[in-house]
Amino acid sequence: MGRVMQMHDIDIADFIKTLDSCKGDVYLETSEGDVLNLKSKLCQMAGIANILQGAVIAEATIRCSNPEDESLLFRFNLYREVPDGKK
């Protein structure tokens, strides 16, 4: 699986839109040891609720099964680039 990525202070709506554009599995790993597949809407809600602070995600560890998704999420995290939703 891909390398670990830290996400900091991200907009939740844009994060969900970016997740929806990913082709492979994307995992959220919590400090409690939980691993949630963020391609599942139920896991998205559970994972985001677990780490929410205010209206932004304070910090999360993300792993991707697809290197293209890793690049997509890296660019989102660094440059706040959100996919246009077209596939």
Query: What tens-digit pLDDT sequence spans the chain (87 residues)?
Result: 667 888 777 888 899 999 999 999 999 887 777 888 999 999 988 877 776 655 555 566 899 999 999 999 999 988 989 988 544
Is pTM, for the whole model, over 0.85? no
d(CA 63, CA 37): 9
d(CA 69, CA 87) in angstroms, rounded, equals 13
**Which CATH number applies to 5-79?**
3.30.1340.10
